[in-house]
Amino acid sequence: MLAGEQDRLEKERQFRDLEVSYKQLYFLLERLNSYNTQATLVTGFAFTAFSADALQALPYEDSPIRAYLFCFFCSLAMAAAIAAVVLSSYLMARSERLAMNSSVEMAVAATRLRTSIVIVLYTISLVGLFGAACFLVFATCGGEEAHCNGVGWMVVGVFVSFIAICTACICRVAQDFDQAAEVSARVGSECRDVLLESDAAAGPSSGSSSRDAPRLAPR
C-alpha cells in the first residue's frame, strides 16, 4: 500500500511539473506572437515612409546627408522588423513541434534561449523607425529653410520627451514590482518562520502532555 501511495504521489508531481511547463511555453509563445505583431506594424510604417513618393521628394543634391540618413534608418527599421517577424514565426513553429513530438521542458528552454534575439531585432527596428521619423522632416527641407528645420527640431524634441517620459514610467513600474516581490518574499519567510516556531513549540508540549496523561489501570 505504501508503494502504491508513493507511485500516486510521483505521478501527481510529474503531472504538475508538466502542467507548469505547458504554462511557461504558452507564455513564451504569446510573447513571441506579441513581438511578431508589433514588428509587422513597424514594417508597415517603414514601408510607408520608404515609398516612391517620399524617395522622389528627398533633396539628394541640396542635402545628401539628410537623404542618406533617412534612407538608412528606413531600411534599418524595415530589415530588422522583417527579420523579427520571420524569426519569431519560425521559433513558434519549431517550439510547438518540439513540445508535441519530444519534450515540453526542452521546448521551453530552447524558446527562452532564442527569444532574446527577437527582442534585439525588434528594438533595432524601433530605433530605425525613430530615426526615420526624426529625419523625415529634415530630409524634405532645403539647406536654408529655417522654418522647416525648426519643425524638424520640434518633432525630434517631442519624440525625445515622450521617450524620456516612457523610460521614467518603466523605471517606476519596475521599482514597484521589485518592492512587491521583496514584500511577498519577506511575508512568506515570516509566515514560514511562524509555522516552524509553532511546530517546534507544539512538539514538546504534545509529547509531555501525552506522557503526563493518566493511564488506565489494568483490570
67-102: pLDDT as tens digits: 788 888 888 999 999 999 999 999 999 998 988 888
Range of the domain at 80: 29-144
- The verdict on 88 and 154 lying in the same domain is no
DSSP, collapsed to helix, strand or coil, labels residue 204 as: helix
Position 196 scores a pLDDT of: 61
Least confident stretch, 111-120, 180-189, 210-219: 210-219
- The verdict on 85 and 136 lying in the same domain is yes
Residue 215 in any domain: the answer is no
Residue 134 in any domain: the answer is yes
Alpha-carbon Rg of the chain, whole angstroms?
31
Residue 5 in any domain: the answer is no
Residue 118 has pLDDT above 90, yes or no: yes
- The verdict on 139 and 153 lying in the same domain is no
Q: Give Cα separations from 136 to 41, 62, 143, 215 (angstroms).
A: 18, 15, 14, 95
Is the four-CA dihedral 30, 33, 35, 38 of positive or negative sign?
negative
Position 122 scores a pLDDT of: 94
> Percent helix, strand and coil across the chain, each rounded to 5?
90, 0, 10
* Grid cell for residue 94: 519549431
Residue 19 in any domain: the answer is no
Residue 21 in any domain: the answer is no
- The verdict on 33 and 82 lying in the same domain is yes
Residue 214 has pLDDT above 50, yes or no: no
* Grid cell for residue 75: 531600411
Residue 218 in any domain: the answer is no
**How far is Cα of residue 179 from the mean position of the Cα atoms in its chain?**
19
Q: Which one has a higher pLDDT value, 210 or 32?
A: 32
- The verdict on 99 and 169 lying in the same domain is no
Rounded percentage of the chain residues whose pLDDT exceeds 90? 22
Residues 182-209: what's their mean pLDDT?
Answer: 63
- The verdict on 132 and 73 lying in the same domain is yes
- The verdict on 139 and 40 lying in the same domain is yes
* Grid cell for residue 42: 513597424
- The verdict on 87 and 136 lying in the same domain is yes
Rounded Cα distance, 209 and 105, in Å: 50
Q: Which amino acid is at 165?
A: I
- The verdict on 43 and 130 lying in the same domain is yes
* 146: confidence class by pLDDT, cuts 50, 70, 90: low
47: nearest Cα among 117, 125, 119, 153:
125
Residues 124-134: what's their mean pLDDT?
Answer: 87
Residue 86 in any domain: the answer is yes
DSSP letter for each residue of 172-189: HHHHHHHHHHHHHHHHHH
Residues 171-198: what's their mean pLDDT?
Answer: 76
Residue 51 in any domain: the answer is yes
Rounded Cα distance, 129 and 122, in Å: 11
DSSP state of 61: T
- The verdict on 160 and 65 lying in the same domain is no
- The verdict on 49 and 91 lying in the same domain is yes
- The verdict on 175 and 132 lying in the same domain is no
- The mean pLDDT of the chain is 79
Q: Give Cα separations from 204 to 118, 146, 196, 208, 210 (angstroms).
A: 58, 88, 13, 6, 10
Instruction: Say how many domains are in the chain.
Output: 2
Least confident stretch, 8-22, 95-109, 126-140, 173-187: 8-22
Contact between residue 3 and residue 90 where contact means Cβ atoms under 8 Å apart: no
Rounded Cα distance, 196 and 7, in Å: 29
